Structure formats: C-alpha cells, structure tokens
Amino acid sequence: MKVAIVKYNAGNTRSVANSLIRLGVDPVVTDDAEVLQAADKVIFPGVGEASSAMNYLRQRGLDTVITLLKQPVLAVCLGMQLLCASSEENDTECLGILGDRVRRFPDGIKVPQMGWNNVSALGSPLFHGVAEDSRVYFVHSYLVEKGEHTVANATHGVEFSAAVVHDNFYGVQFHPEKSGGVGATILDNFLKM
C-alpha cells in the first residue's frame, strides 16, 4: 500500500510518518502532485497557521490537487481546518471541501486547548473499536462547529467537531499520532478503508 503524507508549510509530518511506520507502513512525505494522486491513501497533517499553509498549497497547485483526490484522505488538526471554506485565522480562504467556517474559541475560553480530552458521539468507521469518551490529544485555538459532517464531538468550553467526514475526506481535530493506543487504532482503521 502506498501512503503519501502531504508536505506543506506546516509541521508534524515526521511524527505522523513514525506512527505509520509503527503500523507497518512506510509512507512518503511529498508535495509532488503526481505522487499524491497515485497514492492509495493520503494523510494531510498540520501544525501551524492557516494563511501561510494555504499560500504554500496554492503556490504548488496542491490546493486544486487535494480537492480532486478520490482515494481516502485523512486530514489532521490544521489539515482538517483547511478542508473548510474559510478560517477566522488571518481571514483565510481554505480548500472549500466542507462549507464550514473555522472559528476561534470564544473569548474567555483558554487557548490553545492543549492536552487530553474526551471524544464522544463516534459515528464513523474511523472509530471502529474505539470506546465512547476515549481520550485523545488536542492542540488548537480554532474549531469547526458541529454540523452535518460531524462524526465525533469534543468539548472545551463549547462543544465542537472532533472529527468530520465528507465523501472520501476524513478530518480529525486531534492528533492521532500523539494519542497512544486510541490514536493508533484510528490510524489503522483509516489504513484499512
């Protein structure tokens, strides 16, 4: 199985790659459109800032490439937010795969949310074998509100989408590569799709 990790102006590709290696997959980290299109699975990770990440994607034509991918795509943290139409983070236009607008946590709620939190209302094969209210690791200051594509919730002052699904695009706000056995199960479920 060929698994490609999208290389762009956002961190965390190494820890995602290491998690996949532990699951027996040797991924390629790339910003080459042809390699991404030829992969069996694509992971779109991210730790960083929305506008600089989108600028990198646009400069390389990857914004269009990603939206046209037909194989399963797993977007992590900033990657999930970039699936949306736009973000309040520097008023950024994103990929538009989901119609949502990414919002900053409301005033009075400590940001970033950093650490372990529960996920609930698990409604996707991504969570096969994951117990309700399992704990996963989050680091974020922006959120995707609950909506039609939400398949898991979390609460940090307000309830928000911990995971979304639209067609072949799966997004998780948390970091499965930093979420121990639960995260490994989620990554393994994605690899088996």
Task: Judge whether 77 counts as a catalytic residue.
Answer: yes
Instruction: Spot the catalytic one: 94, 140, 149, 177.
Output: 177
- Contact (CB, 8 A) for 3 and 29: no
Task: Judge whether 166 counts as a catalytic residue.
Answer: no
The amino acid that residue 166 corresponds to is: H
Task: Judge whether 128 counts as a catalytic residue.
Answer: no
- Contact (CB, 8 A) for 90 and 55: no
Instruction: Spot the catalytic one: 49, 77, 84, 156.
Output: 77
Helices marked H in the chain: 13-22, 33-38, 50-59, 62-68, 78-82, 180-192
The position carrying tokens 């609460």 is 155
- Contact (CB, 8 A) for 57 and 63: yes
In angstroms, the CA 132 to CA 118 distance is 8
Residue positions annotated with a catalytic role: 77, 175, 177
